């Protein structure tokens, strides 16, 4: 282990002593991780963990994917360019070409591709800027329980109150509408349409509506086809751009490359990040209809738009999408997950629970205060990484790497059942 630390002992004290109190996951998963592969991780004490967390959806292709790994090593060994801002490089050019060929063309999406900086919030900020520039309007419509990022522009369209309070300034130029099922599908659509049609509603005509088709941080709330189609229709009717933030739900998480494919809608702007980089390397893109590309050169920039290692891995990741095999595998896994959440809901009435989600982005919402967090803590003790989501952390959610196999899922499910039982017993 000499390459990581001169001295093998890095323990949690180091983090407590030097790292800011803002750290989060090192509290939820209190150990020091060292190695990983596929859907497993190991800590410095050689404990093994199954990963139902996947870097909050960043590791759809598993940890340290072999094919990507080889290409990365070869790329590095050969001294190909690593950091390039937005200069033209072979790695970037190849990604552009392949992304168009494998992802966009077959889906008849004539999108231009923008590299807005390598994180999700960079992509979201660029999408909002472009929408406002195109429509010459300042307001953005977002939804209850939305999560779009931590920089001021993205935070203004994020629902979470404590994260919003972190801004230290009022968050403006946004309006939060009820997501699908927040009241009801129909009531949400009707309210939004009424607000927009009414010249006296007090809701300024937005430049764009931004949504996640499945709200990951907000509680694994999956929007119905009907609602998504309804929102698209409203956007068209009132000349509003539709932005799908596909940072967590995209890249195959729900079974198709884009999460919105199942509803048959065509957003004007799409943001991608997290699993886009394939290997967990920082990368993000913003996609938009060709006729929206009114950016001035350099109008939005950033230092790490040329993370070529990510381009190499991201390009390799596209090979998963050359035929339907991967989608079919995801569907099978999703069915197993669905069966399991249904079973949990049925067999543990004490959780007062309901199933949530779509594809391989599922969870169980427990209407018993604090119980989901306890279950996750128990699961960690038993070797499973799993986190909660939702406004009250009421959902324990399953976000395993998409490449997980049936055995992996079942081991995870067994740990969860044990954990539930342990928690219920203690209470």
Contacts of 183 (CB under 8 A, 6+ apart): 191
The residue to which tokens 């072999």 are assigned: 66
Contact status, residue 91 vs residue 81, Cβ threshold 8 Å: yes
Contact status, residue 116 vs residue 284, Cβ threshold 8 Å: yes
Local structure of 142: helix, strand or coil: strand
Q: Which is nearer to a copy of itself, 93 or 264 (CB)?
A: 93
Q: Which is nearer to a copy of itself, 175 or 420 (CB)?
A: 175
Q: Which is nearer to a copy of itself, 202 or 349 (CB)?
A: 202
* Shortest CB 389 distance to a copy of itself, Å: 10
Cα 216 from chain centroid (whole Å) = 6
Q: Which is nearer to a copy of itself, 145 or 327 (CB)?
A: 145
Contacts of 97 (CB under 8 A, 6+ apart): none
d(CA 335, CA 164) in angstroms, rounded, equals 36
Neighbours of 282 (CB within 10 A): 18
Q: Which is nearer to a copy of itself, 265 or 309 (CB)?
A: 309
* Shortest CB 291 distance to a copy of itself, Å: 12
Q: Which is nearer to a copy of itself, 286 or 362 (CB)?
A: 286
Contact status, residue 287 vs residue 111, Cβ threshold 8 Å: yes
Q: Do the strands 33-37 and 40-43 form a parallel or antiparallel pair, or are they unpaired? A: antiparallel
Q: Which is nearer to a copy of itself, 192 or 235 (CB)?
A: 192
* Shortest CB 421 distance to a copy of itself, Å: 27
Neighbours of 369 (CB within 10 A): 10
* Shortest CB 328 distance to a copy of itself, Å: 25
d(CA 423, CA 305) in angstroms, rounded, equals 45
* Shortest CB 409 distance to a copy of itself, Å: 21
Contact status, residue 43 vs residue 32, Cβ threshold 8 Å: yes
Neighbours of 312 (CB within 10 A): 26
Q: Which is nearer to a copy of itself, 262 or 304 (CB)?
A: 304
Tally of residues, the chain: 427
Contact status, residue 221 vs residue 145, Cβ threshold 8 Å: yes
* Shortest CB 52 distance to a copy of itself, Å: 14
Q: Which is nearer to a copy of itself, 191 or 422 (CB)?
A: 191
d(CA 154, CA 168) in angstroms, rounded, equals 14
* Shortest CB 274 distance to a copy of itself, Å: 6
Q: Which residues pair with 383 in a beta bridge?
A: none
d(CA 3, CA 30) in angstroms, rounded, equals 23
* Shortest CB 323 distance to a copy of itself, Å: 17
Neighbours of 185 (CB within 10 A): 18
d(CA 198, CA 192) in angstroms, rounded, equals 10
Q: Which is nearer to a copy of itself, 31 or 224 (CB)?
A: 31
């Amino acid at each position: 282990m000499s390459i990581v630390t001169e001295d093998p002992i890095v323990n949690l004290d180091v983090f407590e002593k030097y790292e800011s109190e803002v750290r989060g996951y090192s509290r939820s998963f209190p150990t020091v991780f060292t190695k990983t592969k596929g859907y497993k991780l190991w800590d410095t004490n050689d404990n093994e963990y199954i990963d139902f967390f996947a870097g909050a959806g960043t590791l759809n292709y598993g940890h340290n994917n072999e094919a990507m790994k080889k290409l990365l090593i070869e790329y590095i060994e050969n001294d190909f360019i690593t950091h390039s801002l937005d200069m033209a490089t072979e790695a970037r050019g190849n990604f552009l070409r392949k992304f168009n060929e494998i992802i966009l063309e077959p889906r008849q999406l004539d999108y231009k591709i923008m590299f807005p900086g390598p994180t999700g919030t960079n992509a979201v900020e660029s999408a909002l800027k472009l929408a406002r520039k195109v429509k010459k309007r300042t307001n953005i419509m977002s939804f209850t329980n939305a999560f779009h990022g931590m920089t001021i522009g993205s935070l203004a369209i994020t629902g979470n109150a404590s994260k919003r309070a972190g801004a230290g300034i009022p968050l403006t130029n946004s309006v939060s509408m009820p997501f699908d099922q927040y009241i009801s599908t129909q009531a949400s659509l009707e309210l939004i349409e009424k607000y927009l049609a009414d010249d006296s509603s007090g809701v300024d005509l937005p430049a764009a509506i931004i949504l996640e088709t499945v709200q990951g941080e907000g509680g694994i709330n999956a929007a119905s086809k009907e609602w998504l189609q309804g929102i698209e229709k409203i956007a068209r009717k009132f000349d509003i751009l539709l932005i799908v933030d596909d940072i967590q739900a995209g890249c195959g998480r729900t079974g198709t490359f884009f999460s919105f494919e199942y509803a048959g809608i065509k957003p004007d702007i799409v943001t991608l990040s997290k699993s886009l980089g394939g290997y967990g390397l920082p990368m993000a893109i913003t996609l938009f209809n060709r006729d929206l590309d009114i950016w001035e050169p350099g109008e939005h920039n950033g230092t790490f738009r040329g993370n070529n290692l990510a381009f190499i891995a991201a390009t390799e990741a596209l090979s998963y999408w050359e035929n339907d095999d991967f989608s079919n595998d995801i569907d099978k896994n999703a069915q197993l997950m669905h069966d399991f959440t249904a079973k949990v809901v049925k067999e543990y009435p004490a959780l007062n629970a309901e199933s949530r989600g779509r594809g391989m982005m599922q969870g169980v919402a427990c209407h018993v205060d604090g119980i989901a967090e306890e279950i996750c803590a128990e699961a960690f003790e038993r070797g499973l990484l799993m986190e909660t989501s939702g406004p009250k952390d009421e959902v324990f959610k399953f976000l395993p790497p998409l490449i997980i196999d049936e055995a992996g899922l079942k081991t995870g499910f067994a740990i969860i059942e044990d954990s539930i039982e342990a928690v219920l017993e203690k209470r």
